[in-house]
């Protein structure tokens, strides 16, 4: 063959670059084979080797299962351990403390039932949410939220007294029912503050409301029953804040102390022998959990699920590695961010972890 018919050496060199050998433990990419029928457990188990966000989901499953499996007895006894910490049976009983954070829209959605399942069965240890994530749970005990559409016109909805949360619809009458329910409780709380010297904090308020709602569908009813603390540092940023605002005119004087709660929240992290965080969404709940774990030089396990991107420098968009730089996640922690909308992912994550073989 003449030189003019030969592949140019530069092209051959560029295209036919020889590969180095891959590591012995490298995992081939392979998805689920539907020739085997429909087996959801097997399907989800293939995600780890599927690639892209499916692999991130698979890593999240592994990390959550490690949180759940860890016991203090897995660790060697340290010279600084007290006598109780040296007892083998005690060490077998000490678990990883799991912090679960979620934004208010998830309680408005059907993810509420998934969170309620975890709390009812004492599968998580500390909850953090926004004001909406608290009030929406109680409101749904009083009246339902409905499926709507993302494209419904705001002006038309406003004229009908209908509030839109994405593709969910909450009639404004639901908030009126909520006001009728909560105001007498706030009156009683004010009475106890004045007569008994009760110092209310956001977590104590939520604990009391969980007791008062007395409804098995409520996240916070089960948090009350199982004595799981719920922290809400921005408790006034929602309808609950509206109720407190109106109440301050009708019956002035109710005080809610946030300082006690920041001490309690940080202490939850400081006293944890092992710490795992699962955070759905971003913003305040994400930072509040991560910042508490700074007090122990970082969480040991972390799973973030959200759609936010990091290019704008937001805390919501930050990957776990950014939290490592602040000491909020340990440098050697196992962590992953799943770039996905939580209503799609979280029930599947729970199915492969907390609910599996429960």
3-state secondary structure the chain: CCHHHCCCHHHHHHHCCCCCCCCCCCCCCCCCCHHHCCCHHHHHHCHHHCCHHHHHHHHHHHHHHHHHHCEHHHCCCCCCCCHHHHCHHHHHHCECEEEEEECHHHHHCCHHHHHHHHHHCCCCCEEEECHHHHHHHHHHHHCCCEECCCCCCHHHHHHCCEEEECCEEEEHHHHHHHHHHHHHHHHHHHHHHHHHCCCECHHHHHHHHHHHHCCCCCHHHHHHHCCCCEECCCCCCCHHHHHHHHHHHHCCCCCECHHHHHHHHHHHHHCCCCEEEEEECCCHHHHHHHHHHHCCCCEEEEEEEECCCCCCCCCCCCCHHHHHHHCCEEEEEEEEEEECCHHHHHHHHHHCCCCCCC
Catalytic residues: 328
- Token pair listed for 71: 């016991």
Tally Cβ neighbours within 10 Å of residue 162: 17
Return the number of other C-beta atoms located less than 10 Å from residue 338's C-beta: 24
């Amino acid at each position: 063959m003449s030189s003019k018919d030969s592949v140019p050496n530069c092209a051959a060199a560029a295209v036919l670059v020889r590969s180095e050998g891959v590591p012995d433990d490298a995992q081939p990419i392979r998805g689920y084979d539907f020739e085997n029928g429909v087996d959801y457990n097997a399907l989800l188990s293939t995600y780890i080797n599927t690639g892209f966000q499916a692999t991130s989901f698979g890593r999240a499953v592994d990390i959550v299962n490690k949180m759940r499996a860890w016991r203090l007895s897995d660790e060697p006894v340290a010279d600084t351990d007290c006598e109780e910490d040296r007892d083998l049976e005690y060490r077998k009983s000490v678990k990883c403390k799991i912090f679960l954070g979620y934004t208010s829209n998830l309680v408005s959605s059907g993810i509420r039932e998934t969170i309620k399942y975890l709390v009812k069965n004492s599968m998580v240890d500390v909850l953090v949410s926004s004001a909406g994530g608290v009030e929406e749970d109680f409101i749904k005990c009083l009246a339902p939220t409905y499926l709507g559409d993302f494209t419904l016109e705001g002006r038309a909805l406003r004229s009908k007294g209908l509030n839109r949360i994405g593709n969910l619809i909450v009639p404004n009458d639901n908030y009126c029912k909520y006001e009728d329910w909560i105001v007498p409780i706030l009156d009683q709380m004010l009475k106890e503050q004045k007569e008994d010297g009760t110092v209310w904090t956001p977590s104590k308020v939520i604990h009391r409301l969980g007791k008062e709602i007395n409804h098995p569908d409520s996240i916070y009813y089960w948090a009350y029953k199982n004595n799981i603390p719920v922290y809400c540092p921005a408790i006034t940023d929602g309808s609950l804040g509206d109720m407190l605002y109106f109440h301050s005119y009708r019956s002035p004087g109710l005080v809610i102390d946030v300082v006690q709660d920041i001490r309690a929240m940080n202490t939850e992290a400081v006293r944890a022998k092992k710490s795992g965080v699962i955070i759905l969404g971003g913003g305040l709940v994400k930072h509040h959990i991560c910042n508490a774990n700074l007090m122990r030089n970082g969480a040991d396990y972390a799973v973030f699920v959200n759609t936010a991107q990091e290019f704008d420098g937001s805390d919501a968009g930050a990957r776990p590695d950014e939290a490592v730089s602040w000491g909020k996640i340990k440098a050697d922690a196992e962590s992953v961010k799943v770039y996905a909308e939580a209503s799609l992912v979280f029930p599947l994550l729970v199915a492969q972890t907390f609910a599996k073989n429960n």
